Amino acid sequence: MAKKDTARKKPMLSVNETVADNRKARFEYHIEERFEAGIVLHGTEVKSLRLGQCSLGEAFADEKGGEIWVYNMHIPEYQQAGKHLQHDPKRPKKLILHKKQVHKLMGAVNRDGYTIVPTRLYFNGRGMAKLEIALAKGKKLHDKRAATKDREWNREKSRTLRNQN
């Protein structure tokens, strides 16, 4: 008697679903303001994103030719497509923003020393891939230590409260 295959395939992501979250950015930076940006993708990139495959860990955004581009965002190749249809996994991707938003971002980066950090990649209600970017300032080492200390203290408090009850 043959065994049934109990492993199920993960369903493809469609609307209102987060593909990737950059939790490291919240630890490394003080996030000031967030923006929603459209992103220019190739067909196989969208299919890989719908399978939930993406990494924002090393991604950063910068200005090139009056536009905002994201670099080092890793979207792996789509396995079902042929070699001639594949994309470069670390290809720079253009962001779609209003001109006022671009000027605001670039002014803050040039004048005040802010950084543009990708924080989340998701599909919106219409099924379009969107990238949430944030205007952020880097944390100092003592800020990171304080954040870690607070987080550990809150965990310890919740453990003791749970054990008392």
What are the DSSP calls for 74-139, one per residue? B-PPPTTS-GGG---TT--EEEE--HHHHHHHHHHHHHH--EEEEEEEEE-TTS-EEEEEEEEEEP
pLDDT recorded at residue 92: 94
Measured at the CA of 96, the angle between CA 116 and CA 90, to 5 degrees, comes to 65
Q: Does the structure show a pLDDT above 90 at 95?
A: yes
Is the Cα torsion angle 105, 99, 63, 133 positive or negative in sign?
A: positive
CATH topology of domain 17-152: Small Protein B; Chain: A; (2.40.280)
How far apart, in whole angstroms, are the C-alpha atoms of residue 126 and residue 151? 36
Tell me the average pLDDT of the chain.
Answer: 87
Question: What average pLDDT does range 127-132 have in this prediction?
Answer: 93
Percentage above 90 pLDDT, the chain: 43
The Cα–Cα gap between 89 and 56 comes to 12
- Give 104's pLDDT tier (boundaries 50, 70, 90): very high
* pLDDT exceeds 70 at position 3: no
Looking at this protein, which amino acid is placed at residue 155? Answer: R
Per-residue pLDDT, 141: 79
Give the range with max mean pLDDT: 9-13, 34-38, 48-52.
34-38
Confidence band (pLDDT; 50, 70, 90) for 5? low
Residue 5, classed as helix, strand or coil, is coil
Inform me whether the pLDDT recorded for 54 exceeds 60: yes
Please report the pLDDT score of residue 100 as a whole number.
Answer: 95
Q: How much is the pTM?
A: 0.77
Q: Any idea where the domains of the chain sit in the sequence? A: 17-152
